[in-house]
Amino acid sequence: MVLAAPGEALRESELPAPEPGPGQVSVAVSACGVCRTDLHVVDGELPDPKLPLVPGHQVVGRVVAGGERFAAGDRVGIPWLGWTCGECRYCVSGRENLCDRARFTGYQLDGGYAEAVVADERFCFPLPEGYDDLQAAPLLCAGLIGYRALRLAGHAERVGLYGFGASAHIVAQVARHEGRRIFAFTRADDEAAQGFARELGAEWAGDALGPAPEELDAAIIFAPAGELVPAALAAVAKGGTVVCAGIHMSDIPSFPYELLWGERVVRSVANLTRRDGEELLEVAPQVPVRTEIQIFPLEAANDALARLRVGEIRGAAVLQVMPIDD
Ligand SMILES: [Zn+2]
Ligand SMILES: [Zn+2]
């Protein structure tokens, strides 16, 4: 499924099979998660995508050929971080997520809305058993970015999750496992999301723009709505952190300094390091995280994106790629 130009629907296309270069594996894709970032790419909200582009950066498949790290037939996951330079000031200080020359899967590199993909084997993850391919896919971004956001929220006991979609539904399970208390903030009338959050251990779920039931120690904002930043700042206690976990957000309205006073912190989370991935994939089976997925055939990628746009997905949308018939 190919994006020819931002703002257009993806088109079902026949492309030549990608050939692995040095250090790359070619992978037969079986599942690919659909991420909010894919929507930002398709909608033209992120600058300079590769075009034409195959989106998708939560890819599960089996190695067909190439590379040295994996054998043919090994199951791998391919995440958003597709390549880093290894030599810039960020890469050499354990912050490859900020690499100046990083390349991202499904953005600058063709991704997993396809039957076949190539990937730098150093950035692929072996996947834990106990998850089938479809269930494993959302761990690869919704899970990883959510996990990094939770880590950057510090040792917060009372955690507010703003937007209860693919990421929040995974983070809530990890946070509960760590003994934290979860509060879910959604659109006022989104009773489905609020009920879903309570099922996953949130002790309260309600209106993101209304008052919080009690002070929070941290908030993680997954929804791309800038007005949630002052709302979350108003909800956190002194010393609390507000983490913006999305790659794109509408403008943040101005707010009184009083909301930031008391050593409150606002920060973003950008991308992932391979270490974040290794940690989450180790933690997930211990929780155990159960991913709630809504399955679409690959050809229905536009439908999956449209439903994600209007908030109709419970948990995570995943594209199922049927084996190539030859
Ligand atoms: Zn670098
Ligand atoms: Zn993503």
| Cα(174) to centroid(ligand 2), Å | 18
| Cα(35) to centroid(ligand 2), Å | 5
Residue 326: pLDDT band by 50, 70, 90 thresholds?
Answer: very low
Is pLDDT at 155 greater than 80 in this prediction?
Answer: yes
Ligand nearest to the CA of 87: 1
| Cα(93) to centroid(ligand 1), Å | 10
Averaged pLDDT, 59-70: 96
pLDDT tens per residue, range 197-223: 999 999 999 999 999 999 999 999 999
Ligand nearest to the CA of 101: 1
| Cα(99) to centroid(ligand 1), Å | 4
Is pLDDT at 309 greater than 70 in this prediction?
Answer: yes
Asked whether the beta carbons of 216 and 239 are under 8 A apart, the reply is no
| Cα(37) to centroid(ligand 2), Å | 5
pLDDT tens per residue, range 264-278: 999 999 999 999 999
Averaged pLDDT, 164-187: 97
Is pLDDT at 158 greater than 60 in this prediction?
Answer: yes
| Cα(86) to centroid(ligand 1), Å | 5
Residue 324: pLDDT band by 50, 70, 90 thresholds?
Answer: low
Has this prediction a pTM greater than 0.85? Answer: yes
Averaged pLDDT, 126-134: 96
Averaged pLDDT, 293-301: 98
Ligand nearest to the CA of 46: 2
Q: How confident is the model at residue 161, as a pLDDT?
A: 98
Average pLDDT, the chain: 96
Residue 156: pLDDT band by 50, 70, 90 thresholds?
Answer: very high
| Cα(273) to centroid(ligand 1), Å | 11
Is pLDDT at 12 greater than 80 in this prediction?
Answer: yes
Is pLDDT at 325 greater than 80 in this prediction?
Answer: no
| Cα(87) to centroid(ligand 1), Å | 5
| Cα(158) to centroid(ligand 2), Å | 25
% of the chain residues with pLDDT over 70 = 99
Ligand nearest to the CA of 146: 2
Ligand nearest to the CA of 78: 2
